[in-house]
A and B are shown apart, each in its own frame.
Chain A
């Protein structure tokens, strides 16, 4: 548990896309510092598994089903959290997806599916969470972008790169709108971390060699590497910071 300006004890933190990958790392980073984490995702079985795993370590975790592209489900989470806990202190917009295809062959439906989750989902969760945060006169929104927001690379994932860059713009504009209400909006741009999305790259030694060759620290991110930054952005320590992006990538974006 952390004390002082980095304290997040009993803060109510909603993490979307918490059934796998970075969502689990971020949830654990907050929960082990004493936060009450509300975990949402579409896959209920996996979500309960993650919540039980956190509870077994003595942490506070509440799983709720939510597809971030469905407005009614997003509204329902905010209502339930507010009724149950009395406040919503932190929203972590982590839910994300991708599709792999050369652009000339990409289906419009795939393009829309990625935009719906990665951008519209962030908009919907921020819209309803910010209503509550404005009413309670404080709040933190953390949008998970990617190192790929600011650079191109070899994989055929145009909608993913596009949406992650879009999160930068969304973060800055929302930060400006919510600043007078004492709600800070920031973004984390992770580099290469183990997740379901990156699993195929890790197990392909050629792709992994390529990826590590581009990371000056010559290692992928670990489960510990995101914990510090999420606690910072969720705590009082970041109260005078808004509209900013913190890149956590072992130096990848320096090239």
Chain B
């Protein structure tokens, strides 16, 4: 039985897929819904980087789950996977859940596969 899971959120659409799967598995862990917040990559005139901001629509998908939102500082100085893994360990999560990109052109180096390759705790990659 899963106690606490970190959700590595790529897009707001991921959340519905993840909660739907967890319900089918009859698992209701506390979810740490995590997004990366880009900091100091560049002046906004160089490149305006927009972050995913958790909103009401996103939170609606969490009905039936205890959850917390974690916005993780990120400066593209390491793999995104490393930041999620670090947070999962810090938050005492027993699993990381992520949705696969399903982009074959990325040669198995999307967020899901880099999480699986770099994490010291179990990773569930939702296809």
Contact = CB atoms under 8 A, between A and B. Distances in A.
Interface of A: 20-21, 24-25, 46, 49-50, 53, 154, 194-196, 198-199, 202-210, 212-214, 218-220, 222-223
B65 to A, nearest CB: 22
B48 interface: yes
Contacts of B49: 194, 199, 202-203
Nearest to A195: B47
Contacts of A199: 47-49
Contacts of B105: 154
Centre residue among A25, A49, A222 by max chain B CB count within 10 A: A222
Interface string B84-127: 00000000000000000101011101111110000000000000
B2 interface: no
B76 A213 contact: no
Interface residues of B, number: 31
B78 A210 contact: no
* Chain A interface helix/strand/loop/mixed: helix
Contacts of A46: 45
Contacts, number: 89
A205 B111 contact: yes
15 contacts: A49-B45, A50-B45, A194-B47, A195-B42, A198-B47, A199-B48, A202-B47, A203-B51, A205-B10, A207-B106, A208-B80, A209-B114, A213-B79, A219-B78, A220-B76
A53 B107 CA distance: 41
B77 A210 contact: no
Nearest to B41: A194
Contacts of B111: 205-206, 209
Contacts of A205: 8, 10, 36, 80, 111
B56 interface: no
Contact of B81 (A21, A207, A209, A220): A209
A23 B105 CA distance: 30
A49 B44 CA distance: 11
* Chain B interface helix/strand/loop/mixed: loop
Contacts of A20: 45-47
A198 B48 CA distance: 10
A215 to B, nearest CB: 10
Contacts of A210: 106-107, 109-110
B38 interface: yes
Contacts of B110: 206, 209-210
A49 B48 CA distance: 14
Nearest to A19: B45
B109 A24 contact: no
The 6 closest A-B CB pairs, nearest first, are: A206-B101, A206-B110, A194-B42, A213-B109, A194-B47, A219-B77
A203 B80 CA distance: 11
Centre residue among B38, B80, B81, B106 by max chain A CB count within 10 A: B106
Interface in B3-57: 8, 10, 36, 38, 41-43, 45-51
Contacts of B36: 205
Contacts of B51: 203
A203 B111 CA distance: 12
Given A213-B79, A219-B76, A220-B41, A206 B103 contact: yes
Nearest to B78: A218
B34 to A, nearest CB: 11
A32 to B, nearest CB: 13
